[in-house]
Amino acid sequence: MHYICPMRKHNGMRPQDIPILLKILILGEQIWQNKDLASQLYISPSEISESLNRSAMAGLIDADYKKKVYRQSLMEFLEFGLHYVFPAIPEVMVNGIYTAHSHPRLEKEFNKESLPYVWPEPRGQVRGLSIEPLYKEQTKAVRQDEQLYYMLALLDILRVGRVRELKFAISELKKIIL
């Protein structure tokens, strides 16, 4: 009698999985280990490992190598699924770091009639409607990586934006990811 080891159960993606995949794209051809991602994203090495397994099971990263992101699949998930799986509802006015259409590189693209959006950050220099970041330490990570900051702000547009903003964010993300 042979014992067959059951496959790991996939309990769905977690919000931090997305910034991890984006960081892998940003690193490109650089050689990295899970501990490098962990230190740069302020996520534990064990959570990086679990995240890569979830992303592999979801078909967003190579299952064997776990360093090659399937760009088209990721873009499809971001464009069509992100706002359903990880919605954001702007809340109260807080100090924070600009995000969504309020990001410094994006604010010139959009009308300033609406209130700014921010990720809550006690040391934040600006005030706006709070949007919950995808993971707890995200504001620390974006202070160290301008490209990650820009991409996550674009994702927040997908989570809270209006039609014109959504079209712009999707177009920008496709330029970066594909």
Q: 117-120 and 126-130: which strand pairing? A: parallel
> Is residue 104 domain-shared with residue 166, that is, in the same domain?
yes
Q: Which domain does 114 fall in, by range?
A: 93-177
> Is residue 49 domain-shared with residue 68, that is, in the same domain?
yes
> Is residue 124 domain-shared with residue 66, that is, in the same domain?
no
Each residue's pLDDT tens digit, 48-97: 999 999 999 999 999 999 999 999 999 999 999 999 999 999 999 999 99
> Is residue 78 domain-shared with residue 130, that is, in the same domain?
no
Contacts of 48 (CB under 8 A, 6+ apart): 20, 34, 35, 37, 38, 41
Each residue's pLDDT tens digit, 124-150: 999 999 999 999 999 999 999 999 999
> Is residue 141 domain-shared with residue 70, that is, in the same domain?
no
128, containing H or E segment: strand 126-130
> Is residue 77 domain-shared with residue 134, that is, in the same domain?
no
Share of the chain above pLDDT 90, in %: 87
> Is residue 76 domain-shared with residue 143, that is, in the same domain?
no
Place of tokens 């299952």: 63
> Is residue 170 domain-shared with residue 103, that is, in the same domain?
yes
> Is residue 122 domain-shared with residue 50, that is, in the same domain?
no
In whole angstroms, what is the distance from residue 157 CA to residue 101 CA? 6
**Full-model pTM:** 0.93
- The answer to whether residue 1 is domain-embedded is no
**Considering its fold, how many domains does the chain have in total?**
2
> Is residue 165 domain-shared with residue 141, that is, in the same domain?
yes
> Is residue 130 domain-shared with residue 81, that is, in the same domain?
no
